[in-house]
Chains A and B, each alone.
Chain A
């Protein structure tokens, strides 16, 4: 919607956008924790890096290699994450030792004496039905091609949230405008609770309307259970990274659930969330 409003104002009154040079205030480096984990037996990773000034190259974020990372369950199991390389701390689960649905976990990070922690329960995943595709001719805002539909439903009960990740030919669709998520089966607490996901999630979020799928493409959709707070975290990332134009929202820092044990110590960024994950994959032929 915003892009249509944008376009109209550009057409109508020759509005324009210009790249400008700007000098920003100097901030300070903060620890970033990327810990999106699931209950599978595949390798689980916690990635620790530092933040960088806004106009720096994001690939230059420094890796934090000297941390000690543990995840401890509420029944006192310790899942050890060991440093591999480049800020990545890895844990290889087994059927016997992995993240379990009914437990809660605490992430503990020690970086040279600074202690950070975060808590997460294990969020259940939605109920898959199927992943289908169909050919569509060109319409007002979509090109001709193959479009997929994700058929899945929300678990009954207010407060179940999900993150839908799309991989086209094994590449993760990482545009901030493409973040596909649901709160129950809508976008607010209790919305369409227990029902099937509707258009914005089931079609809107699994296709690229400018470049639809072609025969031979592989599409994988991963649904991961997330917490309501992580839902808002994703929402904030989307808003902050796609902000602009006539109807921009006031910029704000995205939230975090990582906290420094010392309340006067430097805060950390990022998120620790665990959920069940289930994927479906199709090949268009």
Chain B
């Protein structure tokens, strides 16, 4: 009713709606988060993820300016005496201007919008950051932002504000991606040529998102050039890429297809030892999209992605894994004020392992499939008020593991029980600019989760020795048909408030509760591709997190040359799952018996300073944080730091155009070492001498700090090609990934400590990028 009253008040003087899309004039690509500013009301709107804006204005004449970084602003006069549809085509700034702006929004948005804890990175920026082996990488780039860390090279996934890697919802055109890495984390699964926009939300998460505790990484693909056929690609040391895009029907339908394939195994062959000559380790990904503008009110998009990693010794042993997604979306404008998007998607993550010796073979396959339908509707009541509502249903089919063994002429198949889950959500939220100083965004998301079992179900009691022994199996059930065995309901309130101190600075506060109904079960240092996604069920509760944040945002300089923010957050997590010592997580029919519940907390301070104008651009981010957990039976029941806890995290990125054809960039990162568990003593048993910690502690030590500098230089030959040179880990620091212990090789009576570094030297590379 409140909404209605406000709408009525604002609508009392006759007002009309100006709406439309903002596009890139060279290829027709919709521009996300472009600003449409109305001088007369000192206010405006941002285009949504489909490039759409809607402004409700009273009768009169207005000066509208549309802006997007890297493009010439466009100003028009509009007379509002009826509802109007107006599209804006922006022209990119000429090549003569080598100033590269580092953000994609109007400079003061960081101060004015209620959004906090959000970082949007433009693809242009991502491509400038010096990359490992010359391969531009999305995930590696977001690790340079405050609050985002990783346990090191070779660790797939990333940690946001002290959250585990499974707590990030990674969306590719709205479909979730379960493993964002190729090759154990060295490269991400996203082909940067096909990506249009990347947004990372770390806190104050709006009600339309849900399902993971710590962050949303929203990746949007390009739609495809509406005007002419063109392509681009690159040849590098590790892989090559090619992208083709163009109109199917000029200005009405377009497509984009992009692929990448690695060939490092072919190149490395001559250097491999004899027994690995047939080894293969390669990966590829294919991204495709088609879109069709049906009419002024309707547009359809179909996107698909397939990626795969193949790893094997060539004949005797191998494993492979990959994501597959397909999304169908329909944008519908009911009227100039109401924008709707309907999405249907399919997402699958599967992995398999196989081994053979002589006549015997062993094959293992595991898979998670999501089928989902989602609806989002936004009504732009007026420039100060809009509201959104919608819902989503996800049906998930888990095949936790099926093995087939062939030995002595027999074939034995065995599988863990399949699981089916249904996750439903409904949300309602609004954005309300109360006055010149205060803006708010409130929302409520209600979620419901149903777990179905069919083949078999285990019920457990307690463990005789919590932390060491599995829980006792009390009974088994065999439902035989899909039966609902557990239901959960949760309410997730979301709120953000912004208070402007003056035109240049503001204070923002936010609160969100997030609930996550599935987890990645892993007890290794770095997540391996065979880690299992496990849903909540009759034994495992959904995990919940409450996060509060407070931040101060300030711009400096006439043209908002510097952007500054200081944010602090506190996150409390419940029902976290940990594993008893020695738990075997692979193909374990009694997995729930090995799990122990715990709680967690994470808190920190994030400092961020960015330079937007002038020749030298870049940013510094520094995070001081703590992420820890408390689990009964581990570390004597006291809080201990998480495996990915890093107290200090400093990132510096600099970009400088040396001349018209040469540009240099550099980055430096420093972070505290990760925690580790070290023994104090050892004992002998039957010829073995296992390590022992007399105090039974977990993560009682910290390994050495991590720091690294990378540099890169880009030489633009002409409009159609460039060479990129880079050196990763310039001063060749052997950053320790972990420390482990083993018997000495020449004296098995003595132990030694070994420091394992993933990268032991500097890694130079050259790549060539072209456009046609």
A interface list, Cβ under 8 A from B: 1, 4-5, 7-9, 11-22, 24-30, 32, 34, 36, 49-59, 61, 136, 139-142, 172, 174, 176, 187-192, 195-196, 198-199, 202-204, 229, 232, 235-237, 239-255, 269-271
Contact = CB atoms under 8 A, between A and B. Distances in A.
Contacts of A203: 357, 360
Given A140-B278, A244-B754, A248-B524, A51 B682 contact: yes
Nearest to A8: B281
Given A4-B317, A196-B408, A235-B584, A30 B683 contact: yes
A49 B741 CA distance: 22
B694 A27 contact: yes
Contacts of B186: 12-13
A51 B271 contact: no
Q: Which 9 A-B pairs have the closest CB atoms?
A: A27-B680, A27-B694, A244-B740, A174-B687, A16-B760, A252-B581, A140-B316, A51-B683, A32-B683
Nearest to A176: B688
Interface of B: 153-155, 183-184, 186, 264, 268, 271-272, 275-276, 278-279, 281, 311, 313-317, 319, 353, 357-358, 360, 362, 405, 407-408, 412, 414, 465, 468-469, 523-526, 528, 581-582, 584, 587-590, 643, 676-696, 698-700, 734, 737-743, 749-761, 763
A4 B684 contact: no
Given A14-B761, A203-B360, A246 B154 contact: yes
B317 A1 contact: yes
A19 B741 CA distance: 10
Contacts of B760: 14-16
A188 B414 CA distance: 12
Contacts, number: 266
Contacts of A51: 681-683, 692
22 contacts: A4-B311, A11-B272, A13-B153, A14-B763, A15-B154, A15-B759, A28-B694, A54-B680, A54-B751, A192-B412, A203-B357, A241-B742, A243-B740, A245-B756, A246-B154, A246-B758, A249-B525, A251-B677, A251-B679, A252-B582, A252-B698, A254-B582
A49 B683 contact: yes
Nearest to A26: B680
A54 B685 contact: no
Contacts of A25: 678, 680, 695, 700
A204 B281 CA distance: 24
Contacts of B741: 54, 243-244
Nearest to B281: A8
A24 B676 CA distance: 12
Contacts of B692: 27, 30, 51, 54, 253-254, 269
A34 B686 CA distance: 7
A20 B694 contact: no
Contacts of B588: 188
A250 B281 CA distance: 27
Given A24-B678, A198-B362, 8 more contacts: A9-B154, A15-B737, A20-B753, A24-B680, A27-B681, A59-B749, A241-B689, A254-B582
A69 B756 CA distance: 44
A79 B301 CA distance: 80
A236 B357 contact: no
A50 B443 CA distance: 62
B754 A7 contact: no
A163 to B, nearest CB: 10
A248 B693 contact: no
B594 to A, nearest CB: 10
Contacts of A191: 414, 589
B688 A18 contact: no
B757 A16 contact: yes
Contacts of A192: 412, 414
Nearest to A185: B412
B693 A251 contact: yes
Contacts of B694: 27-28, 30
A29 to B, nearest CB: 8
Contact of B264 (A12, A22, A271): A12
